[in-house]
């Protein structure tokens, strides 16, 4: 997971993955898109539509 966050330039989140908060208010729309991209890489779906 750390490798994927580093790849997405979101390595500052590594220590905050267990944080319970409202991420839609905390991050910009661009950051939320990067988080979604990282989640897709982690889950390895057969298809991904953006």
**pLDDT (tens digit per residue) in 2-38:** 788 788 777 777 777 777 888 788 888 888 888 888 8
Q: Which pLDDT value is given to residue 24?
A: 83
Q: Does residue 42 register a pLDDT over 80? A: yes
Question: According to the model, what pLDDT value does residue 2 have?
Answer: 77
Q: What's the domain count of the chain?
A: 1
For residues 5 and 11, the answer to whether their CB atoms sit within 8 Å is yes
- Confirm whether 37 is domain-assigned: yes
Residue 48 lies in a domain: no
CA 30, CA 17: separation in Å to the nearest integer? 18
- Classify residue 49: in a domain, yes or no: no
Q: Would you place residue 45 in the very low, low, confident or very high pLDDT band (cuts 50, 70, 90)?
A: confident
How confident is the model at residue 47, as a pLDDT? Answer: 87
Considering the entire predicted model, what is its pTM?
0.64
Identify the residue whose tokens are 């539509």.
49
- With respect to residue 7, please indicate whether it lies within any of the assigned structural domains: yes
Residue 35 falls inside a structural domain: yes
């Amino acid at each position: 997971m750390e490798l994927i966050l580093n790849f997405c330039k979101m390595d500052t989140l590594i220590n905050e993955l267990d944080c319970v908060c409202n991420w839609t208010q905390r991050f910009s729309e661009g950051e939320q898109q990067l988080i979604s991209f990282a989640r897709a890489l982690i889950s390895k779906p057969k298809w991904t539509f953006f």
